[in-house]
Amino acid sequence: MIKTSLGERIFDICNTIIMVLLIILTLYPMLYILFSSLSEGNQLISFNGILLWPQGFSLEGYKAVLSNPTILSGFKNTLFILVVGLGINMTLTSLGAYFLSREGVMLQKPIMFFIVFTMFFQGGLVPFYLIVKSYGLLDSLWALILPTAVSTFNLIIMRTYFMAIPKELEESAFLDGAGHFTILFRIFIPLSMPVVAVLILYYGVGHWNSWFNAMIFLRDQDLYPIQLVVRNIILENDNASMLGTTTLIQSRDVAETLKYAAIIVTTAPILLLYPFLQKYFVKGVMVGALKG
């Protein structure tokens, strides 16, 4: 058994206390939202202090959220953006990373320079809006997909990972008659699953949480993604249409818990997905960022 000095034990104790405090500070906001969503609206309104458990118990907020057509259409739009957007993101990122990772490609360095340049210098919001408008994408879900089809940061991560794959695999595949698409999708992608999982998480969370572009480019509320719907509920008190014929007092009570229930409902899918990709997360980022 390894003996530890008094100083090491004191350090371990202090380190444990600090980490526990950080965990509490990180978890409490989410627990507060969860407890609020399960509380009785009138008791929650009258409660003051640190919320450590639900005030009463009610699922009215969740019933209002899940029965509302605006929320349901928001989920439908977000799922479309997520599925189609992820497909475009991963396809273009993989193709671009493969091209930029090969040796002897014409104008590779200038192209890479201009790609990296966009990470530090951007045109701004007004040119971005004008470009989207010029392509006729306003008031369309494609305005939330095509302009963000490739992330420079993600492209560089995948390119660096591809550069670390042994060249002998590519050369032997060429000798067997394989083309570039075969090499990419049958050799490089299967060997790069850790970084692929990480980029799926990056792109997926980005699509799921996106609301700013939707606020700028969309006018039809039927096209709003779920995060913009939730934003309207929280910041603009857009609850009247969600509560139907409920009385004024009941409306106020339900509206108080509805805001928190909407946050839980829209956050839960990502929280449930993350544990399945967590084992790839650190490995994919570190290897993709450092190898090469």
Cβ neighbours of residue 223 closer than 8 Å, sequence gap 6 or more: 77, 139, 140, 141, 214
pLDDT over 90, % of the chain:
25
Report pLDDT for 238.
47
Q: Which is nearest to 160 in space by CA: 12, 287, 27?
A: 287
List pLDDT tens digits, range 57-76.
Answer: 888 778 877 777 888 888 89
* Residue range 188-192: mean pLDDT, rounded: 88
Give yes or no for residue 53 having a pLDDT over 80.
Answer: yes
Q: For 45, how many CA atoms within 13 A lie in the half-sphere containing its CB?
A: 14
List pLDDT tens digits, range 198-222.
Answer: 898 889 889 988 889 999 999 988 8
Average pLDDT taken over every residue of the chain: 82
Looking at per-residue pLDDT, the higher value among 65 and 237 belongs to 65
53 token code pair: 């458990």
Give yes or no for residue 288 having a pLDDT over 80.
Answer: no
Place of tokens 């939202």: 33
